[in-house]
Amino acid sequence: MSVKELQYIIAIGASAGGLEEINSFFDHTPCDGVSYIIVQHLSSDFKSRMAELLARHSKLVIMEAKDAMTVKANQVYLIPNDKFMTIRGGKLYLSEKEKMHGPNLTINRFFNSLAADSGRKAIGVILSGLGSDGTEGIKSIKNAGGMVIARNPETTEFNSMPSNAIATGLVDFVLEPALMPDIIENYVKHSGNIFIGDRNEEKNIKSIIELIKEQLTLDFSDYKPTTILRRIKRRATDNNFVLLENYYDFLKETPGELEALAKDFLISVTSFFRDKEAFDFIEKKVLPGMLENLAPGEELKMWVAGCATGEEAYSLAILIKEQLTGKLKDTVAKIFATDIDTVALIHARNGIFKTDISKHISAERLEKFFTKENKNYKVNAEIRSMVIFAQHDLVKNPPYCNMHFISCRNLLIYMMPALQKRIFLMLLFGLKKNGYLFLGASENPMPIIQNLEIVNKKWKIYKNLETKRAISLDTFSLPQMIDVSEKRPFDKPKKSLQKTKDSLAEAVNLNLIEELNSLAICIDENNHAIKAYGDTTKYLLQKNFNLNLTELLPDNVALAFNAMRVEALKLNKKATVRGIKIKRGQEVITINLSVSPLNIKDVEQELLMVSFTEDKEVTTEQKDTVVFDKKVFLDKYTLDIQNEVMELKAKLHSTYEQLDRSNDNMQSFNEELLSANEEMQRDWDKISFTSMLE
């Protein structure tokens, strides 16, 4: 059969642990007119019995490859143990291993030749194995338009090969071996059109991301497209969809699937003492000095961002607990462990893990810090009490501040560079001076590297050198803050001119603010900052980050702001006060403050704009405005508080009345239930009595 008559060639790369996976793969493989070529790492002096063993698991013809052998459909070809193999013109060619120089990258060699020979009809499969063989080969297959599948590295002991392949971002599906044949059959059946090269692929992906953002308040728009696409393809295939357009329609009608897809986007993978050498370094080189440098009575604070099911947070708690002896025994340690995945957090809070954690935790630590419950291990109370789990969105929510140690591992690699930079800045903001940042092996904090000292290059441990931190209200926001120009997935496309106008307006506003040397902040009805224009360092406190504007203002300014806010809301017009004195560095300056209502069409929420300007001179126009007097404003603030208390009391009284009415209704309802129950009981007695008479 000539190469033109061939349909698809599936090349399977495997090494240590691959034999059982190959058997599982062929247990589910149909006779569908394709060819299979198995490329294993084999010793030159080892005679493989693969053909004999595999014959028990497949009806396909299985044979060892010979030089210049033509590849035929519905046949399986095995690489000889002492040869390298390539394919050219639909024929297999063998060469002696001893004649080759350098590493024996058997899989890369064959995958590269397959990509050149079969193009988009090449399918590469990476199973278990050590090392990174196959990683370069799958790049060739993807560049040629083919498809790549890797086995799930989380469920195999020898996960280096699939992990390295997945790290390229080019793998189309990550599956167990038994599930791979169905995907291949679908791919072949639809002539390679199962999402690959779909003209509307980018549009559909954006629509799906927007749908998740709208329905679930999760924003994945700045995650790497390859990561998002791979997970969308897997979910769509599991639901028997060939086109993303149809899958998108299904998501709109199926909230459960939308939630499942969003959960797939979340990377909830971890283990105890993951990268043991890194934790050994932290135990011996980081924690002792960190604990020693604590001030008397100071708490040790750590933040594990993206904690998944909690293993890393508990690992750090164990290391700390082991060092809290002698003069440190009364030291309080708090580990804030956060994640966006609520399901993973529930698991983490329970602190219950399967017995296989014994592979990562010593028997001594298991006995000391865990309790055996049936077939599981449960974290002891002393370790559990050190960890505080909370839901937190790194993309939107402000950071935990004044941390001695922050861990954020293998999360940023899934994000685009712009989002990575924002989060790196946020992590830096959260660290105390001389605090430590612990990243994943594939992550580099280049946007903030000038503020860091490299403590351990291999394990990406850094020390913060930054002393002064500036707040950027644009970096963080509350989930689902108002954006009046926000585009919904069902809206008709807006003209590009509108985007240009929006960008122009933004640029003009920023330039005006800069020229006027002022700061403008948009806040909601709860005083939470939504957007800021101008330099926050001139007018706001830089002690720690908080979205509540009143907590970011110096005392005098906060006093004036509260009064002007009440007046602006009451009169629905701009309220201004001048002559507020604040300290900036070593000098005292005078500023003006204004609060104005923002009326935006179709927005029910009350929004205010708070503006700050430096008061350099008093003009005649300013003489009619209110001048700040601390005593007057304190009296006004007290009066406002009293009025607010009266309003709250009235609301509380109304609430009590409603509660009393609800209680009356419940009592009435209970009486009706009791009455109905008595009637049913009487009816039942009558039926029983009648039955006895009969």
The DSSP line for 478-497 is -TT---TTPPPTTSPPPPHH
Provide the residue ranges of all domains of the chain, joining segments of one domain with +: 9-189, 201-265, 276-464, 496-628, 634-694
The CATH architecture that domain 496-628 belongs to is 2-Layer Sandwich (3.30)
| CATH 1.10.155 is right for the domain spanning 201-265 | yes
Q: What is the CATH number of domain 9-189?
A: 3.40.50.180
* pLDDT tens, position by position, 243-292: 788 888 889 888 888 888 887 777 656 789 988 899 999 999 999 999 99
Tens digit of pLDDT for each residue in 576-628? 888 888 877 778 888 899 999 887 766 667 888 999 888 776 544 444 567 77
- Please say if the pLDDT value at position 678 is more than 80: no
Higher-confidence residue: 307 or 235?
Answer: 307
Interval 371-381: pLDDT, tens: 998 888 999 99
Per-residue pLDDT band at 419 (split at 50, 70, 90): confident
Q: Within the chain, how many helices (H) and strands (E) appear? A: 20, 26
Residues 6+ apart with CB under 8 A from 626: 576, 577, 578
198 in active site: no
Query: Which of 315 and 522 is assigned the larger pLDDT?
Result: 315
Taking CA atoms, 154 is separated from 97, 150, 162, 663, in Å, by: 33, 11, 10, 53
Per-residue confidence band for 491, with pLDDT thresholds at 50, 70 and 90: very low
The answer to whether 289 touches 374, Cβ cutoff 8 Å, is no
Q: Is a pLDDT exceeding 50 seen at residue 26?
A: yes
Total residue length of the chain:
694
675 is catalytic: no
3-state secondary structure 126-187: ECCCCCCCCHHHHHHHHHCCCEEEEECHHHCCCCHHHHHHHHCCCCCEEECHHHHHHHHHHH
* Dist. CA 481–CA 529, nearest whole Å: 10
**Catalytic (active site) residue 15:** yes
Average pLDDT of the chain is 79
Greatest mean pLDDT among 6-10, 47-51, 151-155, 411-415: 151-155
Cβ atoms 399, 426 nearer than 8 A: yes
The CA distance from 110 to 105, in Å, is 9
List all residues 6 or more positions away from 554 whose beta carbon is below 8 Å from its beta carbon: 541, 582, 583
Q: Answer yes or no: same fold for 9-189 and 276-464.
A: yes
Least confident of 78-82, 108-112, 481-485, 641-645: 481-485
The model's pTM:
0.48
Confidence of residue 194 (pLDDT cuts 50, 70, 90): very low
Please report where in the chains the tokens 């702001």 appear, as a residue.
Answer: 561
Q: Taking a C-beta distance cutoff of 8 angstroms, is the pair 606, 569 a contact?
A: yes
Looking at residue 411, what DSSP letter applies? Answer: S
Position 476 pLDDT exceeds 60: no
Q: Which of 35, 118, 133, 172 is catalytic?
A: 133
Provide the CA 329 distance to its chain's centre, in angstroms.
35
Q: What is the mean pLDDT of residues 511-539?
A: 77
The proportion of the chain whose per-residue pLDDT surpasses 90, expressed as a percent, equals 19
109-118, 515-524, 526-535, 668-677: which is most confident: 109-118
Name which of 27-41, 47-61, 65-79 the model is least confident about. 47-61
pLDDT grade, residue 396 (50/70/90)? Answer: confident
Indicate if the pLDDT at residue 5 is higher than 70: no
Task: Count CA atoms within 13 Å of residue 409 on its CB side.
Answer: 28
3-class SS at 378?
A: strand
**Residue among 41, 207, 271, 339 flagged as catalytic:** 41
Angle at 414 between CA 408 and CA 417, to 5 degrees: 90
pLDDT at 509: 60
Does 94 have pLDDT greater than 70? yes
Residue 312 has pLDDT above 90, yes or no: yes
pLDDT band for 478, please (50, 70, 90 cuts).
Answer: very low
DSSP 415: B
> Is CATH 3.40.50.150 the right assignment for the domain spanning 276-464?
yes
> Could you report the per-residue pLDDT of 203-214, keeping only the tens digit for each?
888 889 889 888
